[in-house]
A and B are shown apart, each in its own frame.
Chain A
Amino acid sequence: MSRKLLNISIPVISVLLGLLAGAVIMLVSGYDPIQGYSAMLSGIFGDEYYLGETVRQITPYILAGLAVAFAFRTGLFNIGVEGQLIVGWIAAVWVGTEFDFPKVIHLPLAVLAGAAAGAFWAFIPGLLKAKYRVHEVIVTIMLNYTALHVTNYLIVNVLSDKQDKTENIAETASLRSVLFENLTDLSRMHWGIIIALICAIFMWFILEKTTTGFELKAVGFNQHASEYAGMSVKRNIILSMVISGAFAGLAGAMEGLGTFGYAAIKGGFTGVGFDGIAVALLGGNAAIGVVLAAALFGGLKNGALNMPLEAGVPNEIVDIVIALIIFFVASSYFIRWIISRLSKKGAK
């Protein structure tokens, strides 16, 4: 089997195995898997409203997936997308509520504030990695919780008057789209999907068509060789984290300016950042793969909401399926081994 075909077949097999395992779990726990999955499908494509909501869910998934994937290409594991997303969310909402500009200035400013906040939050682990060789996985995990507590504090004490959520953002900073809402039967679908797709193209362009991208990837492949070739490993590590964090911050801005229009205190994480790891992994850390994987996971997540209503199956089944898909993709050695065994037998 050719290498390219193998690279595509692993995610596909993993998804199928994941869905199959989900069906088995439903069957064992006394639910009807066919009914469950058909409820899920109608929750994804059922009518215009569901479709609009699915696209809304896909939007932050694309950006979170791009964030994880971009860092991965430089050999960095940004597990802190969740934290960068939260600070991006609150920064975008802050600009959206505090200022008063015409829309052409206000909206881009709010979106960029989200990106900048995410970038800053990712700059910290980037700097520590470059300067002190501290492993970015640990630092980003720690910063996730720091972000959660700090933003909760800011929402209660700074952005509102002891309330548990901020005011709604000004209309001039909103990503809401009357066009999309009318097309999709008043779903919460917003302009963010356009921004997400532009970012995917941006990532592809940087990594594949620019010298900067070449350097970033080179550092990912071999730090010593890159250093020897005269590239600054430290600069590239920080740059990669900053761009990754900007994507994550944008994902937060999408939630703040598009879906919700405010920021509220959180008891726990949104989960989007961690699902972004699944998206990036399944998408092979490439822009187009991330978009496709985000569409799949966004669809699964949104369709899951329909499962308790129509089939009585708890929607957590989809979290199980997603987790299993990650296992299968991560254990691709196992799948490769089976495929090579099978194709050897075929050759005999």
Chain B
Amino acid sequence: MDLYHILQIIVPSMIALAAPLIFTALGGVFSERAGVVNIGLEGLMVIGAFVSIVFNLTFDEQLGAWTPWISILAAMLMSMIFSLFHAVASITFRADQTVSGVAINLLAVGLSLFLVKKIYDKGQTDIIKETFDKIDIPVLSDIPVLGKIFFSNGYYISYIAILLSVAVWYVVYKTPFGLRLRSVGEHPMAADTMGINVYRMRYLGVMLSGALGGIGGAVHALTVTLDFSHSTINGQGFMAIAAMIFGKWHPLGAMGAGLFFGLAQSLSIVGASLPFFKDIPAVYLLIAPYILTIIALTGFIGRADAPRASGQPYIKGKR
């Protein structure tokens, strides 16, 4: 097997595994840029995965090939509503944001498994029938050499993740909305004196993270696991947080980190069948994203600083 064929296996699998991380990490960017730490991304992904699978199983006969797409929209909506728990607790009731995020994670797992047992009378759902098709992107996949590696044998939704990160970059850095969002996360009092509604911006940030986390969970469930059980989302949310930090709270950085972590994941799965990689114990690839994030935080590869006010509740009128 030569390098060209190896890349044709690894790269599409990397992009597919990275997409859920990218969506969720972009959600994390919105929330943290608005000054709300969101440890609950894992739980929001769980809700997204759960809703998408249940929706898919319920409506696949009526909706046909459109089912997975509409499942994603349903997951996005429900996850956004679910994220209001975190928003209300941590913004309005001034709860510790980390604690509230932990509660979101526990609640999401408990609630979704409770409902799975209630609806299906067993611990996990059936495998979905309507899935995303693997496609070669028209035109782009015809580019010599590169087309076969980067634009073949993938899912549309994975490429949407990459395009979305560019859109999020534009929104966060080039629009008035983005400027307000960031100012609320850096210095909420200054933003408040300039007439920006801090609470409203923070609610929006958290709800956007809920929506994107829901998409992330749905994409993972619909492309990777194809059913829902207690182990469908198993650390992807935390890995997305890692990607966000590794990408220095920047949308494009988060996308790059997401792709990189996707590569590590895909190597840990397909690596066993490839020359060279099969000699590396999978454990190194599995822990690589986490170790690299810790190293990134210690500043050995450029300092990563969180938005200044993230983690602190804003109390109007308090100096």
**Which residues does A use to contact B, with CB under 8 Å?**
25, 29-30, 77, 79, 128, 132, 134-135, 137-139, 141-146, 148-150, 152-153, 157, 267-268, 274-275, 277-278, 281, 314, 316-320, 322-324, 326-327, 330-334
Contacts and interface: CB of A to CB of B under 8 A. Distances in A.
Contacts of A322: 106, 110
A268 B96 CA distance: 26
B293 interface: yes
B71 interface: no
Interface string B283-309: 100110011011001110000001000
Nearest to B88: A331
A330 B114 contact: no
Nearest to A128: B298
Contact of A320 (B107, B283, B298): B107
Interface stretch (B1-9, B214-222, B230-238): B230-238
Nearest to A151: B283
Contact of A150 (B85, B96, B287): B287
A281 B234 CA distance: 25
29 contacts: A29-B114, A29-B115, A79-B102, A128-B298, A138-B293, A138-B294, A139-B294, A141-B39, A142-B293, A142-B294, A143-B294, A146-B287, A146-B291, A150-B283, A153-B282, A274-B106, A275-B106, A316-B109, A316-B117, A319-B109, A320-B107, A320-B114, A324-B107, A326-B100, A326-B106, A327-B100, A330-B93, A330-B100, A332-B95
Given A128-B297, A277-B102, A146 B95 contact: no
B171 to A, nearest CB: 25
Interface residues of B, number: 49
Nearest to B43: A323
Given A79-B98, A319-B109, A327-B103, A138 B297 contact: yes
B281 A142 contact: no
Interface string B251-295: 000000000000000000000000000000111001100110110
Interface of B: 37, 39, 85, 88-89, 92-96, 98-100, 102-107, 109-111, 113-115, 117-118, 230-231, 234-235, 238-239, 241-242, 245, 281-283, 286-287, 290-291, 293-294, 297-299, 306
Q: Specify the main secondary structure of chain B where it touches its partner.
A: helix
B95 A333 contact: yes
Contacts of B88: 331
Given A149-B283, A150-B283, A267-B234, A327 B297 contact: no
A333 B94 contact: yes
A141 B88 CA distance: 24
A313 B207 CA distance: 32
Contact of A316 (B110, B283, B290, B298): B110
Given A138-B294, A150-B287, 14 more contacts: A137-B98, A141-B39, A141-B238, A142-B293, A143-B290, A146-B287, A149-B283, A153-B283, A267-B234, A314-B114, A323-B103, A323-B104, A330-B95, A331-B93
B125 to A, nearest CB: 14
A314 B113 contact: yes
A290 to B, nearest CB: 16
Contacts of B283: 149-150, 152-153
A141 B294 CA distance: 10
A318 B111 CA distance: 10
A138 B28 CA distance: 13
Contact of A333 (B85, B93, B107, B298): B93
A316 B293 contact: no
A35 to B, nearest CB: 15
Contacts of B235: 145, 148, 268
**What 7 A-B pairs are tightest by C-beta distance, nearest first?**
A319-B110, A323-B107, A330-B95, A331-B93, A323-B106, A142-B290, A314-B117
Nearest to A137: B98
Contacts of A149: 283, 286-287
Contacts of A134: 294, 297-298
Contacts of B293: 138, 142
Contacts of A77: 98
B103 to A, nearest CB: 4
A132 B297 contact: yes
Contacts of B241: 138, 141
Q: Which of B114, B234, B297, B299 has the most CB of A within 10 A?
A: B114
Contacts of A319: 106-107, 109-110, 113-114
Contacts of B102: 79, 274, 277, 326
A317 B110 contact: yes
Nearest to B90: A330
A245 to B, nearest CB: 16
B37 to A, nearest CB: 8
A29 B297 CA distance: 45
Q: Which of A29, A143, A320 has the most CB of B within 10 A?
A: A320
Contact of B118 (A79, A141, A314, A330): A314
A153 B281 contact: yes
A315 to B, nearest CB: 9
A146 B292 CA distance: 11
Contacts of A324: 103, 107
Contact of A139 (B93, B94, B98, B297): B297
A145 B117 CA distance: 28
